[in-house]
A and B are shown apart, each in its own frame.
Chain A
Amino acid sequence: MEKLLATIGQNLFVLFGLLAVGGAGVLIFSKSAVHSVIGFLFSMICVAGCFLSLQAEFLGVAQLLVYAGGIVVLFLFVVMLVELTKYQEQGIFQTQTKFAIPLVGIGLLIFAGVFRAALFGPSAPEALTLQQGLVGATENLGNAQAVSRGLFANFILPFEILSVILLVALIGAIVLAKTERV
């Protein structure tokens, strides 16, 4: 039974991950910006599924709320605002695309080769294994409580810096997007 559950968990993770990569492919290769946003939304939802299958429940739900609920809507607003339709026929890729695509492909292949040698090669270290659960996440102390304890016990300064950065981003976005009225 345990073995069956482990197999199901692994397969769910791989399934969600491949679906996320597929959504990312739609994001890159679709001609219409709205289709790109939909691919992005799909990819983010699948990444949230990956988080859930890694037993990070709080982060999975936060991912759904922040990305599917907030960021995608923001992107859709801007897509509607800037009416891209008249630029659709100009071609979606960079003008230097005949050099860019092979170069990007070669670079990523080199990186993939290094990655493969490091992970699966003969000199690769023993495959890392994931632990069953988190330290501090017991039956009566769930994932959210464990994460918040980790956050406020160890990362209180980054948390405060983040709040200042969010305030700066808020003010900066208003100033940048404001129309120039005298």
Chain B
Amino acid sequence: MVSMNAVLVISFLLWSVGVAGVLIRRNALVILMCVELMLNAANLNFIAFARMSGTVHGQAFALLVMGFAAAEVAVGLALVVALYRKKGNIQVHEINLLKG
């Protein structure tokens, strides 16, 4: 039997690694992957709370979150490819197309 606190701590660690990655990296691909990491931490909590309450609602919603994550990755990677065509690289600090 897995204790709830262990799940919460692990999911907090995963989430904070994701936040740190989004904030300190400048490669757009790595930032997208870190967003996925945070979504996975949320999924872990959904499943743990589903087990705690003994219902399947959390698991069903985790499945939906997985679908949304897939949609987000598809659009995000298309944006990265379009950006690469436009600018020649995907470093986020060089995205200044709106700067007049």
B30 within 8 A of A: yes
Per the CB 8 Å criterion, the residue count for chain A at the interface is 90
Is there contact, CB below 8 Å, between B47 and A127? no
Q: Which residues of A26-66 are within 8 A (CB) of B?
A: 27-28, 33, 36-37, 40, 43-44, 47, 50-51, 53-56, 58-59, 62-63, 66
Is there contact, CB below 8 Å, between A92 and B2? no
Interfacial chain A residues near B89, Cβ < 8 Å: 82, 84, 87
Q: How far is A33 from B34 in the complex, measured between Cα atoms in Å?
A: 13
Give the Cβ gap from B24 to chain A, nearest Cβ, in Å: 5
* Binding site secondary structure of chain B: helix
Q: Which residues of B15-39 are within 8 A (CB) of A?
A: 16-21, 23-27, 29-30, 32-34, 36-37
Interface residues of B (CB under 8 A from A): 1-10, 12-14, 16-21, 23-27, 29-30, 32-34, 36-37, 40, 43-44, 47-48, 50-57, 59-64, 66-75, 77-82, 84-85, 89-91, 93
Is there contact, CB below 8 Å, between A169 and B74? yes
